[in-house]
Amino acid sequence: MLKKEIESALNAQILIEAESSQIYLAMASWAETQGLGGTAQFLYKHSDEERIHMLKLVQYVNERGGKAVVPALPKPGEEYESLNNLFQTLLDHEVMVSNEINNLVEICLQQKDYTTHNFMQWYVAEQIEEEALARTIMDKLRMIGADKGGLYLFDRDIESISMATTGSVSQ
């Protein structure tokens, strides 16, 4: 049986994962309307992955005797100054998610809930991958700078970047 503090912390993480899915869905829509089809597909997949992360938490809470709460979500942003701005926002968001997961792990340790601590290790590892991917993308965008040809190639190649980097972890 989950302690109330753990259940509450897990439900807060469910909200974060659901918000992540919505944010990346909005980013995908923006990219698609900017003619960045590869980037849009990358972000649509990323949105789906975040929803799967949320579902894993929902099922875990319910299986442990708690009650997962399906949260109402705030409307995500719709506009970005540039592709660099979009991916910097994504990186900043992933860093925030990592911090929240670390806080949840700390609560597990304080409450001596080693089962949930063990469950959360998948999320800890996933966040290492998510942040590394976002930093790799930012590095590539910095290299490209204002080069339109480079941007074209980036947009074309980002789907393979995402598949190679996150495909094995995100299932």
Alpha-carbon distance 78 to 22, whole Å? Answer: 11
Q: Is 106 annotated as a binding residue?
A: no
Q: Is 78 annotated as a binding residue?
A: no
Among candidate residues 6, 1, 34, 4, the one with its CA nearest the CA of residue 110:
6
| Domains within the chain, CATH numbers bracketed | 4-166 (1.20.1260.10)
Q: Is 7 annotated as a binding residue?
A: no
Burial class (CB in 10 A: 0-12, 13-18, 19+), 1: exposed
Q: Is 127 annotated as a binding residue?
A: yes
**Torsion sign across C-alpha atoms 59, 62, 66, 70:** positive
Q: Is 53 annotated as a binding residue?
A: yes
> Residue 160 has what pLDDT?
79
> Residue 162 has what pLDDT?
56
Alpha-carbon distance 55 to 68, whole Å? Answer: 10
Q: What are the start-end ranges of the H helices in the chain?
A: 4-33, 37-63, 83-110, 114-144, 148-166
pLDDT along the chain (171 residues), means of 10: 96 98 98 96 96 98 97 94 96 98 98 98 97 95 93 91 48 32
Around Cβ 26, how many Cβ atoms within 10 Å? 19
